[in-house]
Amino acid sequence: MPHATLPPPPADLLDGASLFLDFDGTLVELADRPDAVAVDDRLHALMRSLAARLDGRVAIVSGRPAEQIHALFGSEGMTVVGSHGMEFRWNDGRVRVADRPEGMAQALAAMHALADRTPGMLVEDKPLGAALHFRMAPDAEEAAQALASEMAARHNLHLQPGKMMVEVRAGGGDKGAAIRTLMAEPELASTRPLFMGDDHTDEPGFEAVAALGGAGILVGASRPTDATYRLNDVQATLAWLEAACGSAA
């Protein structure tokens, strides 16, 4: 994986593009708890501007449940892919959701047992996965990783690392495969896909957009990546998007 110093994206990159956006760490700052995140007026306005600028060719591609992203954005009416590429909710009402894997109940019970004896550790129960969050219990990272690995192996679940969390989830897809599915929509044909994301779990998305003739934009510090461009942080990302779609205040 290349590790060059990446330039910021050019201002005209949205021309003829379809835009896929990660959520946590890309559009909103990371917080101590998953439920401490909100979509403010600035982000609402930006999503409306992007939808207008790109004729609706904008989607959120998140590890969060699609339902949660919908609830956070309210009436924006955009396409959302949730659960790391396993749930599709298109803006025309179509829905495609993978089955909840067997073994989730046992994995959740084991995670709750660990969290109950670990102050600060949180369990996130998702439709297609279960996550252990140790942002507020950093000393318990090893225990969380060990339990998630054990649950993944025992119940044939996909092990999904994240930022200060580890998840077991339904397998068979990732953000890269999800972007390929979205790009197969007729109205996206012959557009150039762009994907913005911050996490290692966004790398399959960067790889997919590059293979489809587009570009990935890494949000955060320089690291080995398949992205083509880089922006420093969430604030730089919001400012670049606003400028690129002409909605800067």
Ligand X SMILES: O=P(O)(O)OC[C@H]1O[C@H](O[C@H]2O[C@H](CO)[C@@H](O)[C@H](O)[C@H]2O)[C@H](O)[C@@H](O)[C@@H]1O
Which residues, other chains included, contact 197 with Cβ-Cβ below 8 Å and sequence gap of 6+? Answer: 21, 22, 25, 26, 61, 175, 205, 206, 216, 217, 218, 219
124 is a contact residue toward ligand X (CB under 6 A): yes
Distance between CA 168 and CA 188 in Å, rounded? Answer: 32
Taking residues 170 to 189 in sequence order and writing x for each that binds ligand X by CB under 6 A, - otherwise, the string is --------------------
**Among 13, 23, 21, 25, which Cα is nearest to 182's?**
21
Burial class of residue 162 in the structure, from the number of CB atoms within 10 Å of its CB (0-12 exposed, 13-18 middle, 19+ buried): middle
Residue among 87 and 124 whose Cβ is closer to ligand X: 124
Tell the smallest beta-carbon distance from residue 27 to ligand X (Å).
8
Number of Cβ within 10 Å of residue 73's Cβ equals: 18
Among 51, 78, 111, 131, binds ligand X (CB under 6 A): 131
Asked whether the beta carbons of 179 and 208 are under 8 A apart, the reply is yes
Active-site residue (options: 22, 174, 199, 226): 22
Among 4, 31, 52, 109, binds ligand X (CB under 6 A): 31
Residue among 30 and 143 whose Cβ is closer to ligand X: 30
**Residue numbers 140-169 binding ligand X by CB under 6 A:** 162-165
Q: Coil, helix or strand for 58?
A: strand
Distance between CA 207 and CA 209 in Å, rounded? Answer: 6
Is 15 an annotated catalytic residue?
no
Tell the smallest beta-carbon distance from residue 65 to ligand X (Å).
7
Tell the smallest beta-carbon distance from residue 231 to ligand X (Å).
15
87 is a contact residue toward ligand X (CB under 6 A): no
Asked whether the beta carbons of 20 and 195 are under 8 A apart, the reply is yes
236 is a contact residue toward ligand X (CB under 6 A): no
Would you please indicate which residues are annotated as catalytic (active-site) residues?
22
Residues contributing to the site for ligand X (CB under 6 A):
22-25, 30-34, 37, 62-64, 124, 131, 133, 135, 162-165, 199
